[in-house]
């Protein structure tokens, strides 16, 4: 394990890790990855080794493995990596890395950073460093794939409460923003996990989630500075439909495909 400066995201996800898979149980990764795979093929992707940056508990890695591709996962959170090890087994290479200082891990046919990871970067400087590190791991002609949250998401999911209720735990996501959330601003949500103890009392664990909205212009500028060009920026609906043109007021996520300039 390398020594890392503790990031706010690392603290958030070490605390969130035991609950993450339950909170995201409704995310249909297989369907989402089928959509993304078709998108990549449209951009000339030749399937091969995948670097899954911010792999979390391995939910975004598993569908690539299921396609017979070699996957290397990395993440800043030990708690999330422990979940990935349990899900993916002993043979998958997992590394503890801050995406702002990835270094050269290898040469990959795809570098992917999926489902709400890039938005945990603090500012455009962090984004530039992360993109430069991802670029350094691309094989010639290989794509870089990632998503970012839109203004619509910060004005809805980050402005309301979402509750996931089970017998032994209740998870409460509380978005602290509102409909006036501004482009490029930083957003806060808290995640309270109420856990039933052996004596039937309830214990609360809280993690704070701070995200930055990156407008499309910032993505393009940071990509350029990192030696990348934007091949496509599509709009994703909550139900997984992908539209050609991104509308920050309509789509929940932007899906970006980049390649070396």
Ligand X SMILES: C[S@@+](CC[C@H](N)C(=O)[O-])C[C@H]1O[C@@H](n2cnc3c(N)ncnc32)[C@H](O)[C@@H]1O
Residues that bind ligand X (CB under 6 A): 7, 9, 13, 54-56, 59-60, 75-77, 80, 98-100, 114-117, 120
Q: Cβ of residue 88: shortest distance to ligand X, in angstroms?
A: 12
Q: Which is nearer to ligand X, 116 or 248 (CB)?
A: 116
| φ, ψ at 164 (rounded to 5°) | -115, 120
Q: Cβ of residue 155: shortest distance to ligand X, in angstroms?
A: 19
Q: Which is nearer to ligand X, 155 or 209 (CB)?
A: 209
CA dist 81 to 7, 86, 195, 215, Å? 15, 9, 22, 29
Neighbours of 183 (CB within 10 A): 14
Q: For residues 194 and 165, is the Cβ–Cβ distance under 8 A?
A: no
Closest CB to ligand X: residue number: 56
Q: For residues 97 and 75, is the Cβ–Cβ distance under 8 A?
A: yes
Give 110's strand partners: 50
Q: Cβ of residue 93: shortest distance to ligand X, in angstroms?
A: 15
Q: Which is nearer to ligand X, 100 or 251 (CB)?
A: 100
Q: Which is nearer to ligand X, 98 or 248 (CB)?
A: 98
| φ, ψ at 41 (rounded to 5°) | -65, -35
Q: Cβ of residue 54: shortest distance to ligand X, in angstroms?
A: 3
Q: Which is nearer to ligand X, 229 or 237 (CB)?
A: 237
Q: Cβ of residue 199: shortest distance to ligand X, in angstroms?
A: 32
The residues near 158 (Cβ < 8 Å, ≥ 6 apart) are 175, 176, 177, 181, 187, 188, 189, 211
């Amino acid at each position: 394990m390398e020594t890392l400066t503790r990031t706010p995201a690392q603290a958030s996800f070490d605390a969130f890790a035991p609950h993450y898979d339950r909170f995201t149980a409704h995310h249909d990764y297989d369907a989402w990855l089928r959509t993304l795979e078709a998108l990549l093929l449209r951009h000339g992707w030749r399937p091969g080794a995948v670097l899954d940056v911010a792999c979390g508990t391995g939910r975004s890695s598993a569908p690539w493995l299921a396609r017979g591709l070699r996957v290397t996962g990395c993440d800043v959170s030990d708690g999330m990596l422990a979940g990935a090890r349990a899900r993916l087994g002993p043979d998958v290479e997992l590394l503890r890395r801050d995406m702002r200082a990835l270094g050269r891990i290898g040469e990959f046919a795809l570098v992917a950073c999926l489902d709400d990871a890039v938005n945990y970067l603090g500012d455009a400087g962090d984004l530039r460093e992360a993109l430069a590190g991802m670029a350094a791991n691309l094989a010639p002609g290989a794509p870089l794939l990632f998503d970012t949250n839109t203004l619509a998401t910060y004005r809805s999911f980050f402005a309301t409460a979402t509750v996931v209720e089970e017998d032994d735990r209740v998870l409460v996501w509380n978005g602290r923003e509102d409909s006036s959330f501004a482009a490029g601003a930083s957003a806060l949500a808290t995640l309270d996990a109420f856990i039933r103890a052996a004596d039937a009392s309830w214990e609360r664990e809280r993690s704070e989630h701070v995200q930055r909205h990156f407008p499309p212009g910032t993505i393009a500028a940071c990509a350029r500075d990192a030696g990348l060009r934007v091949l496509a920026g599509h709009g994703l609906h909550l139900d997984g439909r992908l539209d050609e043109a991104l509308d920050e007021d309509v789509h929940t996520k932007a899906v970006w495909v980049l390649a070396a300039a």
